[in-house]
Amino acid sequence: MGFLEENHRCPRGVFSRISEALVTVAIGAGIGTALCYAFEDRPVAPLVLAAAALGAVLAMALRQATSGKA
């Protein structure tokens, strides 16, 4: 164990990573659901569920693409 360097970053904890992922999924699902209701006047439940799932997946993909990590 040596001294900390100038560019040292402590690793984030498990709770912060999980909460960040859950917030991203929730926001993506909300946007997907809102877009579903914007296009359809009275959508059926499976369509809303599919739109929410697609929104969540796209939000996670966008988050991974912009974070620079694999």
Q: For position 17, what pLDDT does the model report?
A: 86
Q: Which three-class secondary structure string do you get for the chain?
A: CCCCCCCCCCCCCHHHHHHHHHHHHHHHHHHHHHHHHHHCCCCCHHHHHHHHHHHHHHHHHHHHHHHCCC
Half-sphere exposure of 7 toward its Cβ, with a 13 Å CA cutoff? 0
> pLDDT tens digit string along 10-54?
778 888 889 999 999 999 999 999 999 999 999 999 999 999 999
Q: Is the pTM of this model over 0.85?
A: no
Q: For position 5, what pLDDT does the model report?
A: 76
Q: Which two tokens stand for residue 64?
A: 């991974």
